[in-house]
Amino acid sequence: MKTMTVDDGLFTALEAAAHRSGRPVQEVVNEAIGSWLADTARDEADHAAIESARAEAIEQGGVEFEASFDSLPGNPD
């Protein structure tokens, strides 16, 4: 078990939410941290998949979506 400092206002809101749900603060905090870590891992995996697809498309002669607008007739840029 580790100790950490939490902003007083945030902790007050946390205590109130935990009380309303009938759960201990520690349980709510552990669940929230676990959920955040899972979301972060999912975001990193999604980012890696996007970058991989982008690199593959470029290898096959594709161009970035925004860059395709540069070649349109009448483009002021």
Q: What percent of the chain has pLDDT over 90?
A: 64
Model confidence pLDDT, tens digit, residues 21-58? 999 999 999 999 999 999 999 999 999 999 999 889 88
The chain-wide mean pLDDT, for the chain, equals 89
DSSP 13: H
Task: Give the pLDDT score at 20.
Answer: 97
Helices and strands in the chain, H and E counts: 3, 0
The token pair at 69 is 């607008």
Task: Give the pLDDT score at 21.
Answer: 96
CA distance from start to end of the chain: 58
Is 76 a residue whose pLDDT tops 70?
no
Is the model more confident about 60 or about 20?
Answer: 20
Give the Cα separation of 17 and 15 in Å (integer): 6
DSSP 72: S
